[in-house]
Amino acid sequence: MTSSNPIPGNFQPNPQHEVMGDDHVGTSVDTPLRPDAFDLTDEEKMARIAPLFREIMEVMGLDLNDDSLSGTPDRVAKMYVQEIFKGLNPAHHPVCRTFNNTYAYGEMLVEKDINLNSTCEHHFLPITGRAHVAYKSSGRVIGLSKINRLVDHYAKRPQVQERLTRQIAEALKEILDTEDVAVVIEAKHLCVSSRGIEDEQSSTVTADYHGAFANEATRREFLDHIRG
């Protein structure tokens, strides 16, 4: 009789995961987090991650007595918690104060070519590209650098590009108290270029348009700005 439990040393993929394969699937606009996601401090998380990553390296046959590798588990733990996934922690959300639109500027404001570095949640491989963000003020404005910081905050977590695009848009709508927001992201996924099909040329474009940007003429003006 064949046991239904995986045998140690015999990798048995979950059939449901095999059906999903590499499909670009996102469950909701919110990042999937457990209720106890922040019960541990950053230091406690790093202390737990380091020995687990050490075990991964040892299973792969790497010699952690080597000077070049001995510190890698600690470096990876710190990188995960305090760098590439720091956006998981709401305590790291940038403070985004708004100001009165004293110039009475009524046209769209576009911040384009924002550098974007994120991580695919399906394979934990990099997503690199650019974000383009626009809004029309309803009476409040935000410092330009805060837009870049918002993009970086939501990018610094395991992501699906569609969700990332929506999270940036929803955050700006709430901060600026306006529906007139647009976000476009153009990115390359290393899970496409360095594994699987290994296509190095393709890129992925996602967009989220709200309020005035749902109007075709306004949307076209925005796209002309980011392509110009």
The tens digit of pLDDT for each residue in 188-216 reads: 988 766 666 666 767 899 999 999 999 99
**Are 133 and 98 a contacting pair, CB within 8 Å?**
no
pLDDT of 11 over the 70 cut: no
Q: What is the DSSP string of 151-171?
A: HHHHHSSEE-HHHHHHHHHHH
The tokens describing 223, both together, are: 């796209």
Beta-strand ranges (E) seen in the chain are 98-100, 109-120, 126-135, 140-142, 158-159, 181-189, 204-209
Q: Which domains does the chain have, with CATH numbers?
A: 37-84 (1.10.286.10), 98-227 (3.30.1130.10)
pLDDT for 2: 43
pLDDT for 203: 86
Give the CA dihedral 138, 140, 143, 147, nearest 10 degrees.
Answer: -40
Mean pLDDT computed over 179-184: 98
- Look over the chain and give the mean of its residue pLDDT values, rounded to a whole number: 90
The neighbour count for residue 165, using CB atoms within 10 Å, is 22
Mean pLDDT computed over 99-125: 94
What is the pLDDT confidence band of residue 18, given thresholds at 50, 70 and 90?
low
How far apart CA 167 and CA 162 sit, in angstroms, is 9
Name the residues annotated as catalytic: 120-123, 161, 189, 191
Mean pLDDT computed over 68-83: 97
How far apart CA 198 and CA 210 sit, in angstroms, is 35
Coil, strand, or helix at residue 48? Answer: helix
How far apart CA 173 and CA 20 sit, in angstroms, is 32
Please write the tens of the pLDDT for every residue from 38-55: 999 999 999 999 999 999
Coil, strand, or helix at residue 70? Answer: coil
Q: What percent of the chain has pLDDT over 70?
A: 84
